[in-house]
């Protein structure tokens, strides 16, 4: 009987690709399939009620306005099974994009632009300013 060999380490590009695929799967699990057709809580279709407004919580789970009203009468934990976010009515934002990952990206970028808001005039030269812009972009991507 031969001794077991240690598995070879995956090359760096393969490892990085695996991490990216895992991240995509996690995002799909978090945001769900796109595009939306209605409220996942009450299953009412947008086509049946053209005035239906969708809202998104800080956990990026969505529900219609009627479900938001019903929901906050009884509890404050996200109704999606497995999600433990505590929600407040003020945290529910109108859904602006069909794809929730786009909405999340826009909100993170907005928050970062409010914090890191230097202008080109604040730097000695264009190269320094471009480095600052690249750094802020890298920081915002790391928070997505």
Which tens digit of pLDDT belongs to each residue from 53-77? 899 988 888 889 888 888 888 777 8
Per the listing, tokens 């109108």 go with 94
What pLDDT, on the 0 to 100 scale, is given for residue 12?
Answer: 56
Structural domain containing residue 140:
96-144
Sign of the CA dihedral running 134, 136, 62, 22? positive
Q: What is the pTM of this model?
A: 0.57
Considering the domain architecture, whether residues 122 and 143 belong to the same structural domain is answered as yes
Say if residues 60 and 40 touch (Cβ distance below 8 Å). Answer: no
Higher pLDDT, 128 or 141: 128
pLDDT of 40 above 90 = no
> What does the pLDDT read at residue 71?
84
Final residue of a structural domain among 95, 116, 135: 95
> Which is higher by pLDDT, 116 or 35?
116
* Whole-angstrom distance, CA of residue 66 vs CA of residue 52: 8
Q: Mean of the pLDDT values across residues 26-39?
A: 56
Q: Are residues 48 and 76 in the same domain?
A: yes
Band the pLDDT of 87: cuts 50, 70, 90: confident
């Amino acid at each position: 009987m031969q001794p077991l060999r240690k598995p070879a380490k995956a090359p760096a590009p393969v490892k990085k690709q695996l991490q990216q695929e895992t991240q995509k799967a996690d995002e799909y699990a978090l945001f769900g399939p796109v595009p939306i057709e209605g409220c996942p809580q009450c299953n009412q279709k947008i086509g049946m009620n053209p005035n239906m407004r969708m809202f998104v919580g800080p956990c990026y789970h969505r529900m219609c306005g009627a479900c938001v009203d019903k929901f906050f009468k009884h509890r404050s934990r996200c109704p999606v099974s497995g999600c433990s976010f505590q929600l407040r009515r003020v945290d529910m934002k109108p859904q602006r994009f069909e794809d929730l990952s786009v909405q999340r990206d826009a909100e993170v970028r907005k928050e970062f632009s409010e914090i890191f808001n230097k202008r080109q005039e604040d730097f000695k030269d264009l190269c320094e300013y471009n480095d600052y812009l690249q750094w802020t972009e890298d920081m915002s991507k790391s928070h997505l």
